Structure 1
């Protein structure tokens, strides 16, 4: 990736600024804030039926459903790299314990969220149950930053955390696609997305390489790269996005089928490695080009989604927080321990079992993805606002992580 460390140090700050502005604005003048969020950019446009059943493009729809597709494409690129490349970080035995810990970090929050909701009574349970996926999220950006603060940049627990976070992202994308469709499902449209992915791969990736054969100077691939660059993938991405929108799946996931079709180097330097910015394959170049646009998108995402009034706090706020702050650390520790000890899969050299609990505290920062899931899990209104407040309050996990690190006597390790 333009490996998300530069990415993170930049856009994380913009995301925080956007969220902070939204909170202040919504609590000073809620009416003007909500008017801004639902600002109509295009009325009766030719795009097709959008979120309100009409051809109306609002600022909120443009950011959440159209431009956030770029953010999820970058997450998908991380997953694809980690799983498919020979040097991928989620291949083989080294990924086993982080994957088990990831499962604990997802099932733990779900059990805590739904369990407490049931204790609160059937009426509360019915009102909030659809938000079960909100506390499963781990914000990879802020978790990475806090992980470095708690463990030090050179601690093996930081790499473990990154493996866990990227696996969590992969599971989160699946959950969004399956459990939170944006409308009535019309799965036949997914064939259009699949066709776009297959065509662009065959015509502009596989075929040029096949024509090149054993020629070292690769004339066909060079011509395609020089003259067409990313344009075929842009067209395929637009087709796939539209197909996802018409299929009823959330259109922000619409670029996912196209990411694996883009030519990629058969090597990776590891997650967040600065060295990867020097890779010149098309997939990495596209990501480099998206760096600053995605920063701006995330600024607006924070601005348009974090504007909740403090008075909106309710039961779901505390359920989301409990799922993140209790379910995450406990689930990650238990499943990580089972994988490392009884199953004998082990943990990285230099890590202790107790570090799993501290990693769980760091992973409890839900923020970006939790906000996104909250916005699709509940219709606009009091329950959605209360859920978003829980996602915002998950920043408190950063303080808890520092305290947990001190209590567990974590020894920081520099690079």
Structure 2
């Protein structure tokens, strides 16, 4: 465990990313509020609250420590969150603070003047940004403003169904599995036909669930305009889908709007590359009796020339609406949620906080319902951002998703689509 914690913390210190916060300074304690003692209500937005107990727990702990500040928590459906947040901010909503679901949209919100600069508050309350293990730097804008603090971080791991592996008499995935091993293993453990078929793996319909493996080495980003580094992973996905039939068909998943959680929780797939946010969902579904999946977790597979332990992830920041008239109270909430106390609350609910340390990591690994070997699986060496926080990222990602569908549906050849990606990428970025 000591080795795990030391390794993971060293990674997070070096990482430039990753995907809701324990403070080392007494000035960040719950009882040290710089806000007025006058009663105030702040509006805060989040998404899929029922699936993210850490958020409700943070709010409850905050209001207990700050009885004069009430939090009106707005719960928005995950799929609609980013769009509705933009609509609210563009329309002059009285929203005071909010989690940013897609970190790559931070720059766009900043450019529209919708994010308050937290630097004066950080300076006044002596918040130690080093405690965020390098993550706070992601939200430092060109003029030096810090417009968000990392509340949570998530990265991709490999979930697997032990029963499917046992039935096929195939060893479980290791923390040094390559993508070639992943493809070969998926073929070995695929069995059955029709409604009884067990697929070796599932690649969700997000473009990230192919393209992320191309940026995993840390040498590329989705803002590159030569997308040839995606090719090996698209070829793998197409072989698995069309030749081996070891993954569920993209068209079927897309048309049926099948969420990645359902096939895994119902025991239909052997392996699922997905984010660490899914851990608590699995544990809770098993506890409630809604799933009987016998699961395990391994480190994300890696390319031939990529070291084991490299993965892809993103940070989830908390920000304040620049138009808010209650910024002092909103800051108290942001400070608490991203503090040492907030970090412990996140970890106790199974979420990896922006402030990760020995205690928080240990809390997650030792949670009831977590699988054996989770600690080793989480001990990653490098977390590369899935989408950098920079200009044009949202537009480029939207374009890549459109082109991704053409490949997976077989409407165009891989090389032709990769070339089109490059052309459109240059146009979007003005290159």
TM-score, scaled to structure 2: 0.29
- Name the structure with the higher strand share: 2
- Name the structure with the higher helix share: 1
TM-score, scaled to structure 1: 0.30
